[in-house]
Structure 1
Amino acid sequence: MGHKIELDDVQSPNSHQWEELTKPLRNGAVGSRILVTTRKEEVVTLMKANAELMPLKKLGETFCLSLFYYHANIDESIVSKEFHDIGLELVKRCNGGLPLATKTLGSLIHLELDDSERKEVSKIRYLCLLHATKSDSLVSLLCNYKRLRSLTMIDSFNRFIGSIFESIVQLKSLGAITLCPEWTVGLEEIPETIGGLIHLRYLDLSGNKMLEEFPSAMGSLYNLQTLRLVGCKLIRRVDVERLINSRHLYVKHCDSLRLIKGIEKLSHLQRLDEFRLRGRNNLEHLKDLNQLQGSLTIQIYGHPKMADNAAILVNKPHLLQMELNFISADELSQREIMDGLQPHACLESLFISWYKGGTFSHWLSSLHSLRVLILRFCRNIKTLPLLGKEETSIP
């Protein structure tokens, strides 16, 4: 009798991992099958599927709405017409009927109905505010949600935060906060009172273009695992020294950032989207961050201080994509800098831009798993190192 293995929602194809997985299965019992679900055609191509593909249609609105109510823990049969219309409008935005998006949205809402008033909502865990403005009613509203676990405010404020934050820090059960302005300039400062949210695990302040610094009280958030600061263009210094439980740090497009203080202590850090080699940021600060995975962009400014050895990035086997942007410096310096940026041989994708040198570092030939190489504005390069079978000339 054959066996079955299910791999659900495969997102990041990796030829090496797939080959290792299938090796012990090649001599399996007759009738054995591997069922793979994915939203990406390249996954199917990578796996060289020889069976019939079964494209799935998106769910209709009725089924989407039922799925939404189920994961939001709401009895569909007793909701009011007003709430029904709101729910219908929400599921229409779930990418046109994708069940995963619908389930996720329902889980975020996750309302619990009160036993005494079955037609009303008493206990809110997740709250999302769109385009909210400063008002006494909003402050009062937040104060009533003592069991709130997650608060999202999108395009909901413009430089006013004091009174709102005073209400937010009273919500001691908060585990996730998202304060993204989108169309407004956003916050200019974060009050010290944020240090009282000791259960906070997720903080997203992306897009707050006027934010320049963090209060020292941020160090009290020792349970924080994810900090997102994407697009905080004026922030110059981020202190993560005491955030020892951090797993994810996103600082892309923080154009003024010159120091991530204490990053060398985050030995459990798994995701770092960008690191700027300038100011007091040193490549050696990444030496012990060997759990880094996914992709990493390194912005290289001028003549940064490089590590004494080239083992900083080569010890990070889980980094599969790397982007090197040479902002300035002369040809000779850039070649020396590149020599110190050698990645692990498992790297699958490499993007190099604005490199002025005439040749690349020797380590490019050692990237045996490399599947994608993109060169942008590397105008002095005439030949590439050995890639595959032979040296490649560039016309």
Structure 2
Amino acid sequence: MALVGQALLSGSIQVLCEKIASREFVDFFRARRLNHSLMDKLKVTLNTLHAVLNDAEEKQIVNLAVGVWLNDLKDAVFYAEDLVDEIDSEALRHEVKDQTKQTQVCNFLSTSRNPFNYKGMNGRIKELFERLERLAEQRNRLGLSEGIGRNVSQRTPTTSVVEEGFCPYGRDKDKENIKKLLLVSDNGSSSNFSVVPIVGMGGVGKTTLAQLLYNDEQVKEHFDIHAWTKGTSKEGTSEGRLRYDSLEIRLREQVRGKPFLFVLDDLWNESYDDWDRLRTLFTYGAKGSKVIVTTRSRRVASTVRNTIPIHDLEKLSDDDCWLLLAKHAFRNENSSAHPDLEEVGKKIARKCNGLPLASKTLGGLLGCNLDYKEWNYILDSNLWDLRHPNSVLPSLRLSYHYLPSYLKRCFAYCSIFPKGYELEKETVILLWVAEGLIPQSDSGNTMEEVGEGYFDELLSRSLFQRPRLDQPRFTMHDLINDLAKFVSGEFCFRLDLELSHEARKRVRHFSYVRGKFDTSSKFQPLDGVKYLHTFFPLSLTPYDTREGEVYVSNKVQDDFLPTQKYLRVISLSRYGNITHLPDSIGNHIHLRYIDLSYTTIKRLPDSVCTLYNLQTLLLLGCYSLVKLPADMRKLIHLRHLDIDRTGIKKMPVHMGRLKSLRTLTAFVLGKSTGSSIAELRELSHLRGKISILNLENVVRAIDALLKDKNDLNEVELQWGYKVLHDSVKERQVLEGLQPSVNLVKLTIRFYGGTSFPNWVGDSSFPNLQVMRLSGCSNCSSLPPVGRLPALKELYVEGMEFVTSVGVEFYGGNQPFQSLEKLQFWNMPKWEEWLPSPSGAERKLAHSSSFPGDN
């Protein structure tokens, strides 16, 4: 049970009190003669304030002074978090020092560039206590009471109905009418294509209707080319021009002479000149091509339409709103099983004002408590009577208001993502963890697993949505994005495209959309901001790293970022001019997350190894980076290290000491120095994928114990391309590198043995779906991959001496039941048993039969 409407900072206060009361914290304070009695008083004051949070969040709706008080309290709690984290970091520094016995390391730590000011810390604690005491006194004048509020069950939804949310309640007629237009080859247009404009207010279901049409089987079969893009935003015309450029290239390459269906979702650009340029591109397609445009603006619809009338998407009826709400509330159960809730539920549905988005989000809320009193309480909430601040609907305010506090914090943080941004689930979770929004779990689950549960719960409540079921990314509806921005208030600042406004001094989380050249003037709105926790650039369009680079002013990393001492998250990814980090990075003791992916960075300063709180270090695609700092073993809290596609030649010594590592995308073996493969034995929590490179330098592969790493589902094993092979030794090495039976994808490159060990292709790998064998030119036969029950894709390259493809390869009487793709390259002798390689590849693209069966 949790209090209704617990404020955003409830979780923060609870975590602070737990830290202050912990034995480790108390022992550290007493040993360093810090004022622990003052910390005890601070904890009492925090608990006093926590007790009135529920009443404060209720009363701020009608009393603006309470809202101001809450913001002051949030700012003070943020400051308290920074203070406690600073003390924690100093304790952690001593822990690392105690674990490291070498004299030179002790000397290095004792001369840290960021010495802890114990005397000044007592003064800062006293200042914070007095600040919170003033806020506690003000609560009485504001009439805030303890324990006011209602208890509601926070039952986590057992199943997600998001993917079934495409059920077209009230949209059958709309769908059929537009579908007929799409399937007609000639709509009377003199052009090769026709435009179908769909107009409606935000949240009415334009995108959902377009998705229904886009995924319809008849529609799919009617067109050769299908493409979907988010339209240009009214807030970002320059980004729109970039999208047009990308679209132009894609169209010229792919649609010439073919019938296509193209969806421009959420179009805002009213410029006829821009549309005329785009319209010219559509003429490359064949006669009968169609373009669906969804927009809130009739002016946009009038600009783009040619022969087909504008389709106005009306609101849903109250009955259809109820059907949609009930679907989400009862998780696909029949609502008749809850007759006491139907009457009040239908009244709530009428308040949804015909908007499917409101029905879905309220359904997600109501489904967490199937209790008549609570449903009636929501029906009578005074939030329905509020005006719509920043276009935030009352129904959406309610959906947020009744979230448990742990979800409120995570949801509000997502206001850093702009409208139309495609969320990567794993990235969002890592950011939540870095910002301290995910607590340590008592259930034994990792923070990432807890975060995944939070993400799925927000998804099930329709606060996140999946724009395309065949894609792993997620979005927030524009109105949900407005809600996140509204509830995050002045503490999250998103620098929207071509908008110049100053950030509030209290801002903690900052994001912006990258431009081609991000000059120092772009960051002027941050002048005076001193307490940033997040610095996060992002893009509204997927990046192709082969396309042009983007650049950021050197003043950002050399002048601005060094002044932000409280940063938890720094990203400079994809900036082509980032070649180094300043040594001062070691002063950022609060850092948990650094992303330098796809930069040209050449080295990391040694001071990175003093960032003892660091959890995530992303170096993906840093091709110029050839080595990691020598003292990486000190990063005892490091959980995710991505060094895939870098130039790193070997791992630093003692990598096995990083017991917290869960992600290690590559492990590079040096000839005689650096970490040996035995270090992998100690990394028992590895998951996801790993590439083990330069295996010619291995002595005993069994030391890695890959077989015991059940969460590693993707393994690449690679020897050097131009090395002197020892076939006997390499077979022994590969034998010892047998992965877990949970393996999903296996890649073996440049293996020099004459045959594969028995485990390669063995039926004991029931989950193996993808196998790649590349450059294994000494092997005389392929492994018996036909025995793999789940194999879907097989790629073989450079095996010049294949002589046996009989029962060993097929693996039994009914091999390759799941095979969908088979590709061979550079195999001169394969014609002996596959006389038509190109024909076989075409055959396999449409059939599960195996080439050579005939």
TM-score after normalising by structure 2: 0.34
Hey, what's the Cα distance between the residues in 1 that align with 2:732 and 2:634? Answer: 34
Q: Aligned partner of 1:286: which letter?
A: L
Hey, what's the Cα distance between the residues in 2 that align with 1:112 and 1:299? Answer: 48
| Alignment-derived partner of residue 202 in structure 1 | 593
Residue 314 of structure 1 pairs with residue 707 of structure 2:
yes
Residue 272 of structure 1 pairs with residue 625 of structure 2:
no
CA shift in 2, pair 1:332/1:307, >3 Å: closer
CA contact (8 A) 1:346 1:367 kept: no
The alpha-carbon deviation at position 38 of structure 1 amounts to: 7.5
Residue 384 of structure 1 pairs with residue 783 of structure 2:
yes
| Alignment-derived partner of residue 147 in structure 1 | 531
The alpha-carbon deviation at position 277 of structure 1 amounts to: 2.7
Q: Which has the larger radius of gyration?
A: 2
Residue 341 of structure 1 pairs with residue 737 of structure 2:
yes
Render the CA deviation track for 1:42-93: whole Å, top value 9, x for unaligned. Answer: xxxxxxxxxxx66468558578999xxxxxxxx994559xxxxxx9x94245
The alpha-carbon deviation at position 366 of structure 1 amounts to: 7.2
**1:78-93 superposed matches below 5 A:** 78-79=389-390, 90-93=418-421
Tell me the secondary structure at the aligned position of residue 572 of structure 2. Answer: strand
CA contact (8 A) 2:533 2:567 kept: yes
Q: How many residues align?
A: 326
CA shift in 2, pair 1:105/1:250, >3 Å: farther
Hey, what's the Cα distance between the residues in 1 that align with 2:357 and 2:526? Answer: 27
Hey, what's the Cα distance between the residues in 2 that align with 1:38 and 1:358? Answer: 51
| Alignment-derived partner of residue 608 in structure 2 | 218
| Alignment-derived partner of residue 216 in structure 2 | none
Render the CA deviation track for 1:205-242: whole Å, top value 9, x for unaligned. Answer: 11122x22111211221111000001111222213221
Hey, what's the Cα distance between the residues in 1 that align with 2:603 and 2:356? Answer: 43
Q: Going by fraction, where is strand more abundant, 1 or 2?
A: 1
Tell me the secondary structure at the aligned position of residue 375 of structure 1. Answer: strand
CA contact (8 A) 2:651 2:667 kept: no
CA contact (8 A) 1:172 1:197 kept: yes
Hey, what's the Cα distance between the residues in 2 that align with 1:339 and 1:165? Answer: 50
CA contact (8 A) 1:298 1:325 kept: yes
CA shift in 2, pair 1:163/1:206, >3 Å: closer
Hey, what's the Cα distance between the residues in 2 that align with 1:157 and 1:284? Answer: 41
| Alignment-derived partner of residue 375 in structure 1 | 772
Tell me the secondary structure at the aligned position of residue 91 of structure 1. Answer: coil
Q: Aligned partner of 1:125: which letter?
A: R
Hey, what's the Cα distance between the residues in 1 that align with 2:356 and 2:717? Answer: 43
| Alignment-derived partner of residue 242 in structure 1 | 634
CA contact (8 A) 2:763 2:788 kept: no
Render the CA deviation track for 1:224-269: whole Å, top value 9, x for unaligned. Answer: 1000001111222213221110110000011243233442111111
Tell me the secondary structure at the aligned position of residue 128 of structure 1. Answer: strand
CA contact (8 A) 1:245 1:266 kept: yes
CA shift in 2, pair 1:295/1:163, >3 Å: closer
Residue 167 of structure 1 pairs with residue 560 of structure 2:
yes
Hey, what's the Cα distance between the residues in 2 that align with 1:108 and 1:261? Answer: 45
Hey, what's the Cα distance between the residues in 1 that align with 2:666 and 2:420? Answer: 34
1:252 is matched with which residue: 644, 659, 677? 644
Q: Aligned partner of 1:102: which letter?
A: M
CA shift in 2, pair 1:121/1:305, >3 Å: closer
Hey, what's the Cα distance between the residues in 2 that align with 1:76 and 1:191? Answer: 49
Hey, what's the Cα distance between the residues in 2 that align with 1:76 and 1:295? Answer: 50
CA shift in 2, pair 1:234/1:222, >3 Å: same
CA shift in 2, pair 1:34/1:110, >3 Å: closer
Tell me the secondary structure at the aligned position of residue 633 of structure 2. Answer: coil
Hey, what's the Cα distance between the residues in 2 that align with 1:385 and 1:195? Answer: 52
The alpha-carbon deviation at position 319 of structure 1 amounts to: 1.0
Render the CA deviation track for 1:303-324: whole Å, top value 9, x for unaligned. Answer: 2133374452122121122122
Gap regions ≥5 residues in structure 1: 1-32, 40-52, 67-74, 81-86
CA contact (8 A) 2:655 2:679 kept: yes
| Alignment-derived partner of residue 11 in structure 1 | none
Gap regions ≥5 residues in structure 2: 1-156, 169-206, 210-265, 267-295, 297-354, 359-385, 392-414, 424-463, 468-473, 492-500, 539-548, 790-805, 811-832, 834-854
Hey, what's the Cα distance between the residues in 1 that align with 2:487 and 2:640? Answer: 25
Q: Aligned partner of 1:294: which letter?
A: G
CA contact (8 A) 1:174 1:199 kept: yes
Residue 353 of structure 1 pairs with residue 749 of structure 2:
yes
2:507 is matched with which residue: 113, 124, 134? 124
CA contact (8 A) 1:250 1:274 kept: yes
Tell me the secondary structure at the aligned position of residue 637 of structure 2. Answer: coil
**1:55-134 superposed matches below 5 A:** 55=166, 58-59=207-208, 77-79=388-390, 90-94=418-422, 98=466, 100-102=474-476, 111-113=488-490, 122=504, 123-129=506-512, 130-131=514-515, 132-134=517-519
Q: Aligned partner of 1:254: which letter?
A: T
CA contact (8 A) 1:109 1:127 kept: no
CA contact (8 A) 1:234 1:257 kept: no
CA contact (8 A) 2:745 2:770 kept: yes
CA contact (8 A) 1:272 1:296 kept: yes
| Alignment-derived partner of residue 263 in structure 1 | 655
Q: Aligned partner of 1:91: which letter?
A: K
CA contact (8 A) 2:639 2:661 kept: yes
CA shift in 2, pair 1:174/1:381, >3 Å: farther
| Range with bigger deviation, 160-169 or 223-232 | 160-169
CA shift in 2, pair 1:79/1:261, >3 Å: farther
CA shift in 2, pair 1:120/1:214, >3 Å: closer
CA contact (8 A) 2:507 2:532 kept: yes
CA shift in 2, pair 1:140/1:218, >3 Å: same
CA shift in 2, pair 1:288/1:109, >3 Å: farther
Hey, what's the Cα distance between the residues in 2 that align with 1:238 and 1:253? Answer: 14
The alpha-carbon deviation at position 105 of structure 1 amounts to: 6.7
Residue 293 of structure 1 pairs with residue 677 of structure 2:
no
Q: Aligned partner of 1:148: which letter?
A: L
Q: Going by fraction, where is helix more abundant, 1 or 2?
A: 2
Identity of counterpart residues, as a percentage?
A: 22
The alpha-carbon deviation at position 285 of structure 1 amounts to: 1.9
Q: Aligned partner of 1:237: which letter?
A: K
The alpha-carbon deviation at position 171 of structure 1 amounts to: 1.6
Hey, what's the Cα distance between the residues in 2 that align with 1:38 and 1:353? Answer: 41
| Alignment-derived partner of residue 42 in structure 1 | none
The alpha-carbon deviation at position 172 of structure 1 amounts to: 2.4
Hey, what's the Cα distance between the residues in 1 that align with 2:387 and 2:708? Answer: 53
The alpha-carbon deviation at position 194 of structure 1 amounts to: 0.8
CA contact (8 A) 2:741 2:765 kept: yes
RMSD: 4.0
CA contact (8 A) 1:212 1:235 kept: yes
The alpha-carbon deviation at position 37 of structure 1 amounts to: 5.4
Hey, what's the Cα distance between the residues in 2 that align with 1:244 and 1:108? Answer: 35
CA contact (8 A) 2:678 2:703 kept: no
Render the CA deviation track for 1:99-139: whole Å, top value 9, x for unaligned. Answer: 7422797769974149xxxx98624333224125343x456
The alpha-carbon deviation at position 360 of structure 1 amounts to: 1.1
| Alignment-derived partner of residue 18 in structure 1 | none
CA shift in 2, pair 1:202/1:235, >3 Å: same
The alpha-carbon deviation at position 161 of structure 1 amounts to: 3.1
CA shift in 2, pair 1:343/1:144, >3 Å: same
CA shift in 2, pair 1:76/1:189, >3 Å: farther
